[in-house]
Amino acid sequence: MSGLTLFGLFAVTAMLVCYALEERSPWFILAFAGACALGSIYGFLQGAWPFGLVEAVWALVAFRRWAKAK
């Protein structure tokens, strides 16, 4: 398993965990935004730019939700 694959696995796992815990604290919304940003980076590094672009949008949406929730 390559380092890039491990990075992608970490990003997607962090997204899942943070999304599941969002109702517990606004900080999990912020962590979800960060995990989406990591997923975006992974997508672009892998060459899957549509995935990277969509994850970047999700990161912005989640960051905005955090800003409203805090």
Q: What is the pLDDT of residues 12-22, one digit of tens each?
A: 999 999 999 99
d(CA 27, CA 13): 17
3-state SS, residue 66: helix
pLDDT digits (tens, 9 = 90+) for 20-42: 999 999 999 999 999 999 999 99
Number of compact structural domains in the chain: 1
HSE at residue 6, side-chain half, CA atoms within 13 A, is 3
Say what the pTM is.
0.94
| Burial class of residue 47 in the structure, from the number of CB atoms within 10 Å of its CB (0-12 exposed, 13-18 middle, 19+ buried) | exposed
Range of the domain at 28: 3-69
